[in-house]
Amino acid sequence: MIELKKLSKVFDTGKGALTAVDDVDLSIAAGEIFGIIGYSGAGKSTLIRLLNGLEKPSSGSVVINGQNITAIKGSELRKARQKVSMIFQHFNLLWSRTVKENIEFPLEIAGVPKNKRDARVLELVELVGLKGRENAYPSQLSGGQKQRVGIARALANEPEVLLCDEATSALDPQTTDSILELLVDINKRLGLTIVLITHEMHVIRKICHRVAVMEGGRVVELGDVLQVFQSPKAEITKRFVAQVTDTEDSQETIKNLRKLYPTGELVKLVFVGDQTEQPILTQLIRKYPVDVNIVQGNIAHTQRGAYGTLVLQMKGSAQEISEALAYLNAESVQTEVMSNG
């Protein structure tokens, strides 16, 4: 569906060259929700502008549905852009227009007859959950409602790709979740390919199938979201995963337990997919004469399955603990000894 090949973008800042995107190769499947995560300056915003043709690459290509959009211009590029829509962090609505008028604006530009515009707007208002608010102005809407208008407007011309540029960064957590759930629903109903850029791992965890982690203009890690949560490789990826799986309280607890139980072991367990539903810990206690104290744990749900972490304080002989850990590893549970007695 989307192929980025050796894609680079270099800006002339007047003080020298700045490489915003550096030799990126990516393949995004049709109907996939694909996340791109990175901190400020990682190059993700430039990358998304290359995807919709707002920026021309310094080298490399962007191919969408077999069409190389980096090799076209003028009316041909404008036509291609109609198949790649975008929603923004700050909504970018027309404040003098109602909800209905904002949604139909791209249809007006495309020359769609009024009767067809009206029918399409009604359909989209229903889809994004704004029925009854058609005649409201943006100033009368909440942040979440404004973003729903932005999504409906982006869908007006029936695009094949929806780009989301930090689309939930200006929203509170509860509203963020409702918008993410709407995007998942749209993806399932319409089979729409969604490319989402963010600096929040919660967003990636909630809705994305796969993720690319960017740093310094390069993709430093790429994979299935559940796989990345289970085994993050790059240091920056580990920091992002920690946003969702670790808390300061749990780290403080671990530090305190190291002092309180110097002869025990602190062990972090990682459960993935069906493992989160199995009574593995119960079986461990029955099989091995070790004392187990649950320190901290949580389960995060991704589009590909659940991911759980559990920190245990284990007491017993070195051999007993070693055998217990071997059992967990045999059950495909990742273990990490976090303290030594």
Residue with tokens 């608010």: 133
Q: Which two tokens stand for residue 11?
A: 């800006």
Average predicted confidence (pLDDT) for the chain: 89
Measured CA to CA, the distance from residue 220 to residue 205 in angstroms comes to 18
Strands of the chain (E only): list them: 2-12, 17-28, 33-37, 59-64, 67-68, 84-88, 161-165, 193-198, 210-215, 218-224, 265-272, 291-302, 305-315, 334-337
How far is 241 from 235, CA to CA, in rounded Å? 10
- CA 314, CA 181: separation in Å to the nearest integer? 39
> According to the per-residue pLDDT averaged within each range, which of 41-45, 63-67, 120-124 is highest?
120-124
- The percent of residues in the chain predicted with pLDDT above 90, rounded, is 57
Among 12-26, 75-89, 263-277, 284-298, which is the least confidently predicted range? 263-277
The 10s digit of each residue's pLDDT in 182-229 is: 999 999 999 999 999 999 999 999 999 999 999 999 999 999 998 888
Residue 2, pLDDT > 60, answer: yes
Domains along the chain with CATH numbers: 2-243 (3.40.50.300), 246-337 (3.30.70.260)
DSSP 131-176: TT-TT--GGGS-HHHHHHHHHHHHHTT--SEEEEESTTTTS-HHHH
Whole-number pLDDT of residue 293: 86
User: 235-261 burial string, b = 16+ CB within 10 Å, else e?
Assistant: ebbeebbeebbbeeebeebbeebbeeb
Average pLDDT over residues 279-308: 84
Average pLDDT over residues 85-103: 93
pTM of the model: 0.84
Q: What is the pLDDT of residues 21-36, one digit of tens each?
A: 999 999 999 999 999 9
d(CA 25, CA 287): 48
- Say how many C-beta atoms besides its own lie within 10 A of residue 162's C-beta: 23
Question: Quick one: CA dihedral 86, 91, 95, 98, positive or negative?
Answer: positive
User: Please, which pLDDT band fits residue 279 given cuts at 50, 70 and 90?
Assistant: confident
The residues, any chain, with a CB within 8 Å of residue 183's CB and separated by 6 or more, are 33, 151, 162, 164, 194, 196, 207
In the sheet with 17-28, reading across from the earlier edge strand, the strands are 17-28, 2-12, 59-64, 67-68
| Predicted confidence band of residue 13 (pLDDT cuts 50, 70, 90) | confident
According to DSSP, the β-strands at 33-37 and 210-215 are parallel
Structure tokens at 150: 């932005």
Model confidence band, residue 308 (pLDDT cutoffs 50, 70, 90): confident
Rounded to 5 degrees, φ, ψ at 16 are 130, 175
Q: Is the pLDDT score of 339 beyond 80?
A: no
Q: DSSP for 71-105, please give it.
A: G--HHHHHHHHTTEEEEETT----TTS-HHHHHHH
| Pairing label, strands 193-198, 218-224 | unpaired
pLDDT score, position 341: 44
